[in-house]
A and B are shown apart, each in its own frame.
Chain A
Amino acid sequence: MSEPPLPRRTEVLRSHVRDAAAQLRDPGMEIDRDPTAIDRWLHLPAADLMRLSTIPVEYLDAPLRIDGHTYDMRSCLEHTVTIEELSYGDAGFMLACPGPLMSGVAVDALGDDKQRHAYYERLSRPEATWTFFGLTEPAKGSAATELETALTPDGDGFRLSGAKRYVGNAAFARLGVVFCRRAPGPLGIEAVLVDTRDPGFRAELIPTVGMRGARISAITLDGVRIEREQVLGYDTLRPSRRGLVGAIRTLQRFRPVLAGTALGLTRAVLDHVRRERPALTGTARGRLEDLRDRLEATRRQNYDIASAIDAGKVRSDRIAGVKTRAAELAERATLAAADLLGPASLLEDPWLGKLYRDARAFEFMEGTGHIQRLAVFQGVAKHTFLA
């Protein structure tokens, strides 16, 4: 399979990250057994890449420099390529790492200078800091316009009450972004920065079938005190430009990255089949080639979309389309691998067994397939999706 073309500096980055990702399989298996095992692997270069990804260069004492290029992964394309390569090593390991991930995108989208400075100053310290992005709720899923977590006035600040579910890393995080409702209607939604040490915050791990490195958690918010300066953009943005706008921008910026995660896993499982069964012939070989073609086509599409986002062209229908394709391809590739590798392969091949369980996570992460299909439909109706 040929590599999709990238700008020179991005190719240099890809090569660097690929080397770092080569060490992640054994730690990934360990984290699958015990998600706290990431603590024993924070010395790996891959963990450092994740810890610093998307933190602006000016906050870093030693930003990533390779062959004269400096990287902070604030480019959607460079972030996507980095995440894809690390996910080729192990997606669970990547997701278990400390760093800004989605919460940083939300702070960028909504925070004022002071909020951004405080957030990045905290994240750039040498110690590991996990963060979370709290949008999904038990009763409403990730339907941002219907969320029920309440932000109620309390003196010169607020109290935050409600529940969030299926939030990565929340049980281990020091801070995170919580989307909540200050008033009825879509303009009544806010995003607040929460310190998990504050009274009233509680989070616990939700045991999952796979992708245990994501450390999917449930959050309970019981009257957590929120100062005005913790409400993102409170002093600088109109209500119509806060809360919901940040959720949408974050999800759109992050979906190519999530697609990269699925595509990294897909490439890993297809390479695994090729290594284990180098002499496949006939129909079996054709199936593998078909999946590899689809992988390459989806990677190219994902890079195009990430580049367009970097250029300020956000096409939500195409973002939804590539996320859906990548998620479905990961499932198809792991199902095919279990078949191609023969009877009892899920029992005899623990790495395959792990990827097989992990791949199902992509369907619902960053919006379910049904939600993405609605966005694709909107694109068809507006004649933009296939244009």
Chain B
Amino acid sequence: MTTTDTTLPAPVIGWLEAFAGELDDCHEQAAPGGTVSSPAGWTIASAQRLPAGTPVPGTSGTLAAVRDAPPAGDPAARVFSDALVRLHWRLLRDVLDGAVSRLDGRTSEGAPLLGRQLVRGTVADVALALSETRDLLDLPRPTAGRRRRIHRDLVAAGRTALVLYGASSFAAEGPGRLLYAAELLGNTYLHTGEPEEGAGRE
């Protein structure tokens, strides 16, 4: 028995393909008909958009990567990076909504898990991070540094949100795989080359 990604249940492949399609939309917004490469020369897109790419680990072959492309010009990179952070935001919003729905349907000692104060506090923490990052995204004159900080906040909030799913967040059929893909994309496209003062929950 193996756990190659081809053993994933069909719905998971569907979610990943939808995510890959949304990533392609980011490319389309920035470079119609083409792709945008990262400052370090990496390009990540759906396997359909990058047929010559190698599969990105942990994405079941739905995402592919190629190296040594010339870095994108400034306008395209900016448009793509903005779209990418907003895609991460939407993904986290879906993950939070899914967690609330799931916890409302699970009970412990006869009561919904969503009634637990610790659980409610965790939900609120993620919602607060979503609210703040949405406002940050809407600020005028976005910069690479700001996008990277927003990505860092979304990664931290995503890790908090995954706690709400327990072990199921770690299963390939859970939301952890999608958020991992978003984290990897940010590490590839939004890292400015200098270490930050803070990362994740540090």
- Chain A contacts to B: CB under 8 angstroms: 33-36, 136, 139-141, 143, 146, 165-166, 171-172, 204-212, 216, 280, 283-284, 287, 290, 328, 331-332, 335-336, 338-340, 342-347, 350, 353, 357, 360-361, 363-364, 368-370, 373-374
A218 and chain B: residue at smallest CB distance? B171
Closest B residue to A141 by CB, please name it. B166
Residues in B whose Cβ lies below 8 Å from that of A331: 159, 200-201
Residues of chain B in range 136-189 having any CB-CB distance to chain A below 8 Å: 155, 159, 162-163, 166-174, 176-177, 180, 183-184, 187-188
User: For residue A280, which residue of chain B has the nearest CB?
Assistant: B195
The reply to whether A205 and B1 form a contact with Cβ atoms under 8 Å apart is yes
Question: What's the interface size class on B, roughly?
Answer: 35 or more
Q: How far is the CA of A295 from the CA of B199 in the complex (A)?
A: 17
Which of B1, B3, B183 gathers most chain A CB within 10 Å? B3
Which of B7, B167, B184, B200 meets A332, CB within 8 Å?
Answer: B200
A336-B199 contact, Cβ under 8 Å, with A141-B166, A342-B191, A343-B188 = yes
Q: A-facing mask of B9-39, CB < 8 A → 1, else 0?
A: 0000000000000000000000000000011
Q: Which of A141, A204, A347, A370 contacts B119 (CB 8 A)?
A: A370
Q: A207-B172, A209-B171, A339-B191 are in contact. List 10 more A-B contacts (CB 8 A).
A: A140-B108, A171-B1, A207-B5, A207-B7, A207-B8, A287-B202, A345-B187, A350-B57, A353-B57, A368-B166
Task: Establish whether residues B202 and A209, one from each chain, have CB atoms under 8 Å apart when the complex forms.
Answer: no
- Given A139-B106, A344-B187, verify A34-B176 contact (CB < 8 Å): no
CB distance from A352 to the nearest CB of B (A): 10
- Contact of B127 with A by CB under 8 A: no
A335-B170 CB under 8 A given contacts A284-B195, A368-B163 = no
For residue A332, which residues in chain B have a CB less than 8 angstroms away from its CB? 200-202
A364 to B39, alpha carbons, bound, how many Å?
Answer: 36
CB of A285, distance to nearest CB on chain B (Å): 9
Separation of A143 and B107 alpha carbons in the complex (Å): 11
Nearest 7 interchain pairs by C-beta: A335-B200, A343-B191, A207-B172, A339-B199, A284-B195, A166-B167, A364-B167
A204 and B163 CA atoms in complex are apart in Å by 24
- A287-B188 contact, Cβ under 8 Å, with A207-B173, A208-B171: no
When the two chains form their complex, are residues A347 and B188 in contact, meaning their CB atoms are under 8 A apart?
yes
B58 to chain A, nearest CB (A): 6
Specify which of B159, B183, B202 is in contact with A336 (CB 8 Å cutoff): B202
What are 6 of the A-B contact pairs (CB < 8 Å)? A143-B108, A332-B201, A343-B39, A343-B192, A344-B40, A347-B42
Tell me whether A209 and B180 are in contact (CB under 8 A).
Answer: yes
Give Cα A166 to B39, complex, Å.
40
In the complex, what residues of A have CB within 8 A of residue B56's CB?
347
User: Taking the complex as formed, is B97 at the interface, i.e. its CB lies under 8 A from any CB of chain A?
Assistant: no
Q: Please, which residues of chain B bring their CB within 8 A of the CB of A283?
A: 195, 197
Query: Which one of A35, A208, A368 contacts B172 once the chains associate, using CB atoms below 8 Å?
Result: A208
Question: For the complex, is B109 an interface residue (Cβ under 8 Å from A)?
Answer: yes
Indicate if the CB atoms of B57 and A35 lie closer than 8 Å: no
Which residues of the partner chain A approach B168 to less than 8 Å between Cβ atoms?
166
Point out the residues of chain A lying under 8 angstroms from B177, CB to CB.
209
Q: How distant is the Cα of A336 from the Cα of B156 in the complex, in angstroms?
A: 12
Determine if B171 and A369 form an interchain contact, defined as CB atoms under 8 angstroms apart: no
Closest-by-CB residue of B relative to A373 is: B118
Question: In the complex, what residues of A have CB within 8 A of residue B7's CB?
Answer: 205, 207
- Nearest residue (CB) in B for A363 is B163
Say yes or no: A34-B4 contact (C-beta < 8 A), given A209-B172, A343-B187. yes
Bound-complex Cα distance A34 to B1 (A): 9
B104 to chain A, nearest CB (A): 14
Contact between chains at A35 and B3 (CB < 8 Å):
yes
Interface presence of B129 (CB below 8 A): no
Contacts of B201 in A (CB 8 A): 328, 331-332, 335
Chain B neighbourhood of A36, CB < 8 A = 1-2
**Contact partners of B171 in chain A: CB under 8 A:** 166, 206-209, 216
Bound-state Cα–Cα, A329 to B123, Å = 22
The residue on B at minimum CB distance from A339 is: B199
The residue from B2, B42, B57, B118 contacting A344, defined by CB atoms under 8 A apart: B42
B123 to chain A, nearest CB (A): 12
Chain B minimum-CB-distance residue to A350: B57
CA distance A368 to B176 in the complex (A): 16
Let me know if B118 and A346 touch, CB within 8 A. no
B193 at the interface (CB under 8 A from A): yes
